[in-house]
A and B are shown apart, each in its own frame.
Chain A
Amino acid sequence: MKISSTQWEGFRNLKPRRLEWAEGLHLLLGPNGSGKTNILEAFHVLTGWGSLRGERTADLRSWTDPGRGTFLSASFDGEDSLEVKVGIGARIVAKKGGSSLRSSQLRPLVPSLIFLPNDLSLVEGSPATRRRLIDRLCALLFPVYALRLHEYGRALRQRNASVRMGRNLAATARVMAPLAAWIWACRLTAVDLIRNGLEEGEGLLPPGVMLELKRGGRGLEDLHLDFWESLEAGQKQERATGVCPVGPHRDDLVIRFQERDVARCFSRGYRRRVAIALLLSSGWAVERKMRRKPILLLDEVMAELDHEGREQLIAVLLRTGWQVFATTAEDCTPDWPGRVWSVEGGRVDEG
């Protein structure tokens, strides 16, 4: 899919404006604080993902021009063609053709993948950073995934509360088990797809980078049984620490190169490339499984790569044929093979 036009009003610091977007690569260039990330966030909201990093919805509305309301709209085309309108009040309400649409319904229609500066430290960061990559893909591939993951988190909090109160733990285990097994099955599928996708990103990485989902269980093949057995085995520890040591919340994505953990054996620049390659692989997974080209939102990704890394990334992006929006504060790509937009004080202009 691609975004063909957008319009915003009262959103963050962005000046009201209607814009047409061609397919291919777009570079948003502007000084710090000009509104580049806000533009990506607008696209993020328009594709069903809400505010960035779970910030409060109220913060999306302009501080300086609060009275007139906050609206976003976009036309998408490509594999399908649709119009999305979003109103941001106490909640974010998306509509397609006049009827409202849940975000779990919107996301697969216009699949987008975002990459934020923090995601660059995916390799050496916490397991949560790596789980987020998998979860984003799962949320696109399996419409109820986000909801189930949320329910699992709630069940887990109920269990931790039960442990602290010294209650019987059987009921929470029964609620968690089917959710855990289901989430594991989804994540295994997603990691398989990302692994296949990695092969397409050749150039960015040396061949031989291996991926594996390390489940927060004992690793039995039967996911359901694995959860029960692991839970039982971990109960002593759980009673002692008050935290459930078993389940999808303890999963990690293990990334190896020649049997070694890449967090240790790769240089900083190469760890960045691994992170980007994983995002691109998610994109390929989306394209293959959903038969829709993803829209990529890349915030400050070029800044951390060397000249060669940038050239290779751009070459790979061009090959994909996806619509890409990349931001940068400094023009480090004089030969950007796409459009360049200048962003200044919330105003966007081509040039």
Chain B
Amino acid sequence: MSISEPVEKLMKLFSRFPGVGDKTARRFALFLLQQPGEFSDELASTISLVRENTFPCSICGNLTTEDPCPVCSDPFRDRGILCVLENVEDMISIEQAGVFSGLYFILGGRVSPMDGEDLAPERIAKLREYATGGGFREIIIATNPSVEGDLTFYAVLDSLKTTGLRITRLAFGLPLGGTIGYADRVTLHASIESRVDVRVPDRNGERKE
């Protein structure tokens, strides 16, 4: 064994990051060891500080250091429109694209029976409560354009069906099987702009094409 155990452990930890393979993890570890000590001190303290002081926003579920989060407490946002998303990553994509100025609600999960994934009933209850009590005129259900996104969409839709609110979903210029997180700004903009009113498909109902 040519690498000492602590260095190996560091590499292992880095390799757990999404998109980081063994080689990149090694480069990260070696880079870190070649920097002056202050760098790793700062990194370590920043990580534990962020970890300690970051929590989900009590209103929308966004990760934040203050409650409510900057989006929920921003007076210039359109408070009549709520965008429901699967996760924080999707929210960041939409925020960075700058194509939406309403408020968000993060589900923090998706429906995928074969992976044993489902939405937490408390989260659904929370959404219902927020959507009905918040003075919204429109709820956009912006789940991913995939089978799991569709399943999640229907779960959310069913829970909001009786509220009488106007419900829309993204019009998918997004490729099927894609994710919001990977869509470019133009595509995101188009799918939000051309969102469609939802009709519930059933045996007598809606045709997608």
Contact = CB atoms under 8 A, between A and B. Distances in A.
Contacts of A158: 112-114, 147-148, 151
Contact of A171 (B154, B206, B207): B154
B146 A151 contact: yes
Interface residues of A, number: 29
Contacts of B175: 147
A229 B203 CA distance: 7
Contact of A172 (B146, B151, B207): B151
A171 B111 contact: yes
A174 B155 contact: no
A175 B202 CA distance: 10
Nearest to A159: B113
B150 A175 contact: yes
A155 interface: yes
Contacts of B112: 158
A178 B151 contact: no
Instruction: State the main secondary structure of chain A at its contact with B.
Output: helix
Interface in B138-192: 146-148, 150-151, 154-155, 158, 175-177
A268 to B, nearest CB: 41
A319 interface: no
A182 B176 CA distance: 14
Contact of A174 (B114, B148, B201): B201
Interface of B: 111-114, 146-148, 150-151, 154-155, 158, 175-177, 200-204, 206-209
A318 interface: no
A175 B204 contact: no
Interface string A132-175: 00000000000010011011001101101110010100111011
Contact of B154 (A160, A161, A175, A178): A175
A151 B154 contact: no
A224 B209 CA distance: 11
> What is the interface of chain B mostly: helix, strand, loop, or mixed?
loop
6 contacts: A158-B112, A171-B154, A174-B154, A174-B202, A224-B207, A232-B203
B170 to A, nearest CB: 16
A144 B176 contact: yes
Given A144-B176, A175-B154, A151 B147 contact: yes
B147 A155 contact: yes
A178 B207 CA distance: 6
Given A171-B155, A177-B201, A154 B147 contact: yes
Contact of B114 (A161, A177, A181): A161
B147 A182 contact: no
Contacts of A162: 113
A150 B178 CA distance: 13
A167 B113 contact: yes
A178 B200 CA distance: 12
A228 B206 CA distance: 12
A225 interface: yes
A229 B201 CA distance: 14
Contact of A147 (B113, B177, B208): B177
A310 B147 CA distance: 47
